[in-house]
C-alpha cells in the first residue's frame, strides 16, 4: 500500500511528465496520438493518486477540484472513447500548474509533519 506522501510524489511526477510536452501547440497535440495517449495516461495516474489521499489532506486545499480530478480519471478508465481532446488539452495546459502548486504545498507540509 502506497502512503499518502508517496502518492503526492506520484502526482508531481505525472505533472512533470506532462510538462515535458507542454511546448506543443494544441494542433500538434491533436495530430500526435502517442503524445495524447501519454498525457491521458499521466492524467489517469493523477486521478488514481488523488483517489487515495486522505480527505482531511484534500480539505487543506478546498479550491482544488479534487472530485473533478477523480471524475476525469473515471471518465478515462470507463469511457475512453468519449474523452474529449479539448478537455485533456485544457487540463494539461491550464489546470495542472494550479494543481502542482497545491500538491507541492501539501507535500511540503506533510513531509515535515511526519
Q: Which of 73, 75, 98, 110 is catalytic?
A: 73
Per 3-state DSSP, what percentage of the chain is helix, strand, and coil (rounded to 5)?
80, 0, 20
Tell me the torsion sign for CA atoms 81, 85, 89, 95.
Answer: negative
Q: Which of 7, 75, 78, 110 is catalytic?
A: 78
Angle (nearest 5°) at CA 83 between 19 and 37? 45
Active site residue 20: no
Active site residue 73: yes
Query: Which residues are known to be catalytic?
Result: 73, 78
Amino acid at each position: 500500500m502506497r502512503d499518502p506522501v508517496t502518492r503526492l510524489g506520484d502526482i508531481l511526477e505525472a505533472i512533470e511528465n506532462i510538462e515535458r510536452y507542454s511546448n506543443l501547440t494544441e494542433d500538434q497535440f491533436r495530430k500526435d496520438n502517442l503524445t495524447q495517449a501519454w498525457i491521458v495516461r499521466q492524467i489517469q495516474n493523477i486521478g488514481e493518486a488523488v483517489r487515495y489521499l486522505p480527505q482531511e489532506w484534500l480539505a487543506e486545499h478546498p479550491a482544488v477540484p479534487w472530485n473533478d480530478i477523480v471524475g476525469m480519471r473515471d471518465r478515462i478508465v470507463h469511457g475512453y472513447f468519449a474523452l474529449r481532446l479539448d478537455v485533456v488539452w485544457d487540463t494539461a495546459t491550464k489546470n495542472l500548474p494550479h494543481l502542482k502548486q497545491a500538491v507541492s504545498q501539501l507535500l511540503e507540509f506533510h513531509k515535515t509533519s511526519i
